[in-house]
């Protein structure tokens, strides 16, 4: 796919540049005139984002309106759920229908870079002050010294649990190992009202990949090797696959074999899951769906294989804004990104999902305006747990750098199909894992 997309994109970019596609990507963002016009024509930018929740979506719409009022440049917002965005942008590259600006998942940015679809943002980062940003999120989107994404927020997956259900079951200690977690999930399992720990493996998403990644990382391995080959047949991977199959069969609803992110997360939001893995977004989800449970939810570090094992980084997501190379107005795009990250606006954005979105810029958490939020104050311990995970984690498959293989790992549903094969067809774990590993490696080789 890489070669096909690259050829199509190259042709489209050439045609766009012949028509006058704006300033050079390496030039500093030019001041945007109040008229919002270039050559007498009004400037309109299109931004794709995946902030489907009301507060975040409302914030983006408000920022677009404020930016237009100040500069005359119109920003049209289009919203696409995370699960649909990969199909949207890959189809857009093939047809030339890509936006000026977008958000993206980290692994997808690696693929966008690989087909030369993005504008480097070094000038914007340096102009704003490189030392304002945490180094790790910037480095995650850096290839050969070029920075292709500016993270606008960060989060990390941790273990979420229900304090009231543990207390009811007589469990006095939050699970620290995978065995303890499984036993606790069995103890609180009370279907159909509450399931111990739903495991979801619906195709078209990467929930099962995420969960397997958690286990494999805890064993000191990664789903992609340093040579960027799939790792599904090592003992750690086989143990992880067997663990999650056991979880599905004993403490997960049968329908979760087809659940994607939304259905999976909603179980915890509605109080139907005792344990789950997610970021601080679970707080706002519970608040919206079952506010009576707000005093009963808490977070802890991801379990280990053995209690004495060292701490490890599991899954982090540094969500960036990227500027597409096909844009006719890269300077105005960069101006809008800088507009979004003005401190007073940035805090307002982060507060649209407090604790769910943690800043990718230094000093924000120390601002009184940031601290002056009821949810952040209530969930200080959870914020600390997530922040600690952020400091030592990485995106799935991105442990060794920003490479497109990570996107193949998370966007092709190979691991989800593997789990479904084991569960539905009774295929032995080793056989299914070997076939899935071979399939992933073929995709990596042909991409």
pLDDT beyond 60 at 296: yes
User: 263 or 14: which carries more pLDDT confidence?
Assistant: 263
209 pLDDT higher than 60: yes
Q: How many residues does the chain have?
A: 447
Contact of 338 with 128, CB cutoff 8 Å? yes
Choose the CATH number for 158-314+412-446 among 2.40.50.140, 3.40.50.2020, 3.40.190.10, 3.30.360.10: 3.40.190.10
The per-residue pLDDT for 9 is 41
Average model confidence (pLDDT) for the chain? 90
Q: How far apart are CA 298 and CA 295, in angstroms?
A: 8
Could you tell me where in the chain the CATH 3.40.190.10 domains are found? Answer: 2-155+317-392, 158-314+412-446
pLDDT for 53 beyond 80: no
- What would the pLDDT profile of 361-373 be if each residue is shown by its tens digit? 999 999 999 999 9
Sole residue written with tokens 């945490």: 134
d(CA 264, CA 270): 11
Strand partners, 118: 324
Architecture per CATH, 2-155+317-392: 3-Layer(aba) Sandwich (3.40)
Confidence at 82, pLDDT banded by 50, 70, 90: confident
Residue entry with tokens 């706002």? 284
Mean pLDDT across 130-149? 94
In this predicted structure, what is the pLDDT of residue 172? 96
What pTM was computed for the model? 0.85
Burial 159-178 (b: 16+ CB within 10 A, else e): bbbbeebbeebebeebbbbb
DSSP strand pairing (150-156 vs 41-42):
unpaired
Share of the chain above pLDDT 90, in %: 84
Q: What is the pLDDT of residues 145-189, one digit of tens each?
A: 999 999 999 999 999 999 999 999 999 999 999 999 999 999 999
pLDDT above 80: residue 37: no
Task: Give the angle 74-117-135 at the CA atoms, nearest 5°.
Answer: 85
* Per-residue confidence (pLDDT) for residue 36, from 0 to 100: 58
């Amino acid at each position: 796919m890489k070669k096909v997309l690259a050829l199509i994109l190259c042709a489209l970019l050439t045609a766009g540049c012949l028509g006058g596609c704006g300033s050079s990507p390496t030039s500093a963002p030019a001041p945007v005139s109040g008229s919002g016009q270039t050559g007498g024509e009004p400037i309109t930018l299109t931004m794709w984002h995946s902030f489907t929740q009301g507060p975040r979506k409302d914030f983006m719409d408000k920022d677009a309106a404020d930016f237009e009022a100040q500069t005359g440049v119109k920003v049209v917002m289009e919203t696409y759920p995370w699960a649909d965005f990969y199909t949207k942008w890959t189809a857009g590259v093939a047809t030339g229908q890509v936006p000026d600006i977008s958000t993206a998942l980290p692994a997808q940015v690696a693929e966008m870079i690989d087909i030369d679809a993005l504008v480097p943002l070094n000038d914007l980062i340096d102009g704003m002050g490189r030392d304002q940003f945490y180094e790790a999120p910037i480095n995650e989107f850096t290839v050969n010294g070029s920075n292709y994404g500016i993270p606008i927020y960060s989060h990390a997956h941790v273990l979420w649990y229900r304090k009231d259900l543990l207390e009811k079951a007589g469990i006095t200690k939050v699970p620290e190992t995978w065995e303890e977690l499984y036993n606790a999930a069995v103890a609180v399992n009370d279907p159909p009202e509450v399931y111990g720990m739903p495991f979801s493996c619906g195709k078209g998403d990467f929930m099962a990949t995420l969960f397997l990644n958690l286990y494999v990382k805890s064993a000191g391995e990664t789903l992609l090797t340093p040579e960027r080959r799939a790792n599904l047949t090592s003992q750690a991977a086989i143990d992880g696959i067997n663990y999650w199959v056991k979880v599905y069969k004993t403490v997960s609803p049968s329908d979760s074999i087809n659940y994607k992110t939304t259905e999976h997360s909603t179980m915890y939001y509605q109080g139907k899951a005792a344990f789950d893995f997610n970021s601080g977004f679970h707080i706002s989800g519970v608040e919206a769906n079952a506010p009576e449970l707000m005093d009963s939810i808490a977070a802890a570090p991801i379990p280990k294989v053995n209690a004495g094992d060292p701490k490890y980084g599991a899954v982090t997501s540094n969500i960036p804004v990227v500027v597409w190379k096909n844009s006719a107005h890269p300077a105005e795009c960069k101006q809008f990104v800088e507009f979004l990250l003005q401190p007073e606006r940035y805090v307002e954005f982060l507060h649209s999902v407090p604790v769910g979105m943690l800043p990718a810029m230094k000093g924000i958490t120390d601002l009184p305006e940031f601290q002056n939020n009821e949810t952040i104050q209530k969930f200080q311990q959870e914020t600390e747990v997530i922040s600690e995970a952020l400091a030592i984690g990485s995106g799935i498959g991105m442990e060794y750098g920003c490479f497109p293989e990570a996107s193949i790992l998370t966007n092709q549903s190979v691991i989800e199909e593997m789990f479904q094969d084991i569960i539905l067809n009774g295929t032995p774990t080793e056989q299914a894992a070997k076939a899935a590993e071979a399939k992933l490696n073929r995709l990596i080789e042909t991409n």
